[in-house]
Amino acid sequence: MKLAMIGFGQAGGKIVDRFLDYDDRTGSGIVRAAIAVNSAKADLMGLKNIPQENRVLIGQARVKGHGVGADNELGAEVAEEDIDEVQNAIDAIPTHEVDAFLVVAGMGGGTGSGGAPVLAKHLKRIYTIPVYGLGVLPGTDEGGIYTLNAARSFQTFVREVDNLMVFDNDSWRQTGESVEGGYEQINEEIVRRFGILFGAGEVGDGQEVAESVVDSSEIINTLSGGGVSTVGFASEEVDLNTGGGLLSRFTGDAGGDDNLDAANTTNRITSLVRKAALGRLTLPCEIEGTERALLVLAGPSEYLNRKGIERGRKWLEEETGSMEVRGGDYPREEPEVAAAILLSGVTNVPRIKRLQQVAIEAQDNIDDIQQESEENLEELVEDDEDELEPLF
Ligand code: GDP
């Protein structure tokens, strides 16, 4: 599936930058165009792969290239004021060759948190292709203001996109890591999971196209209907079997071993599917009640079989209670078999409820503190008996 990716704010830009790197490394061909939008000039300069002409600085008149300082209302305002600048960059990309937009942002900050929903709304008004969001939740240790920003951005972003895929930094935080080093790893995890998922619908020329291969319309159908999505993933290393495996299967050289191989292959797939669904999701949630799901099995084609995928799909149907579970192959010559599961329309997400609670507390605290400091200032400035008068 070919995407036009727009990274909004620092996290968004870095993640899209990383997607380009992933595309380069794996030849997956999912990023048809990449744009970064930011109100902070330094963040745009720090990107490595996004072309200079696709880096858009907004809000210059208001914040002079210094960013909005975690004020997401200001982030939304400058995005609205300078939406034409963003549109100019989008005009320069071949949108007719694109299956969907993906707007990526960290929801805890200012520029991306406020700007990404504004851009999504704008894109949906102009284009007929789907507009998806990839929103990153802040770690719980980042503090009240980030939580409040994320809770408000989440509500708005979900409403403005065709589907919001969520990644929770909190579940992926590693102790003892520097923040930057931690993000490196987290961003790699993000592009790997979403790369396999979106890469599935993008089998290149000359690649083997099996009947059961995932098509981009299946990804789009799984995401249609809106709501919130999460992605599960599990992988296992395998030998790339250069020369032997594939050929021997066609010529029948492997003889009696073939049955054993088929059983192993099926078992490997079914256990990977379970691990992916029950392991760490990009957004932790209860998978029961998921509206739609897509199971993608990626790996060398000799390690993929229809029986395994079919069993995995059935099992997912039972676990989620969904009647709409799609599944298929993504043949690629990497020394691993991987299961990526897109769970779309999840509703039982305690993490979001907790985020909202903390956000409301933070909001109340901020109001109290502001009122108190206004009172304190008045007490300081005014003389006790009100005997002095200001000049004007
Ligand atoms: P903005 O530039 O004002 O949009 O704000 P940032 O993108 O810098 O930060 C928003 C939130 O994104 C932070 O609270 C972090 O939770 C998260 N974040 C920042 N950088 C990264 C990153 O490289 N990767 C990930 N996964 N999250 C990040």
Ligand 1 centroid, distance to 108 Cα (angstroms): 7
For the stretch 23-59, pLDDT in tens is 999 999 999 999 999 999 999 999 999 999 999 999 9
> pLDDT averaged over the chain?
92
Range 121-147 average pLDDT: 96
Q: Which residue has the CA at smallest separation from atom 10 of ligand 1? A: 109
**Which of 39, 183, 193 should be mutated for ligand 1, with most atoms under 8 A from CB?**
183
Q: What confidence tier does 261 reach under pLDDT thresholds 50, 70, 90?
A: confident
Which is the closest atom of ligand 1 to the Cα of 13?
Answer: 7
Whether domain 226-344 has CATH 3.30.1330.20: yes
The two three-digit tokens of residue 198, written as one number: 């979106």
Q: What is the pLDDT of residue 82?
A: 98
Q: What is the pLDDT of residue 207?
A: 58
DSSP classification of residue 225: T
Check the annotation: does 13 bind a ligand.
Answer: yes
Instruction: State how far the Cα of 49 lies from the Cα of 317, in Å rounded to an integer.
Output: 40
pLDDT of 80 > 60? The answer is yes
| 99 close to 2: Cβ distance less than 8 angstroms | yes
Q: Which CATH number fits the domain 3-199, given the four candidates 3.40.50.1440, 3.90.550.10, 1.10.540.10, 2.40.50.100?
A: 3.40.50.1440
Q: What is the pLDDT of residue 204?
A: 61
In degrees to the nearest 10, what's the CA dihedral of 98, 103, 104, 106? Answer: 180
Which is the closest atom of ligand 1 to the Cα of 38?
Answer: 2
The percent of residues above 90 in pLDDT, for the chain, comes to 83
Q: Give the 3-state secondary structure of residue 227.
A: coil
Per-position DSSP letters for 324-358, written without gaps between them: EEEEEEEE--SSEEEEEEEEES----HHHHHHHHH
pLDDT of 244 > 70? The answer is no
Ligand 1 centroid, distance to 130 Cα (angstroms): 24
Q: C-alpha distances in angstroms, 8 versus 107, 296, 377?
A: 10, 28, 38
Q: In this predicted complex, what is the ipTM? A: 0.99
Q: What confidence tier does 380 reach under pLDDT thresholds 50, 70, 90?
A: very high
Domain ranges of the chain: 3-199, 226-344
Q: What confidence tier does 255 reach under pLDDT thresholds 50, 70, 90?
A: very low
Q: Which residue has the CA at smallest separation from atom 14 of ligand 1? A: 108
The percent of residues above 70 in pLDDT, for the chain, comes to 92
Q: Give the 3-state secondary structure of residue 94.
A: coil
Ligand 1 centroid, distance to 117 Cα (angstroms): 16
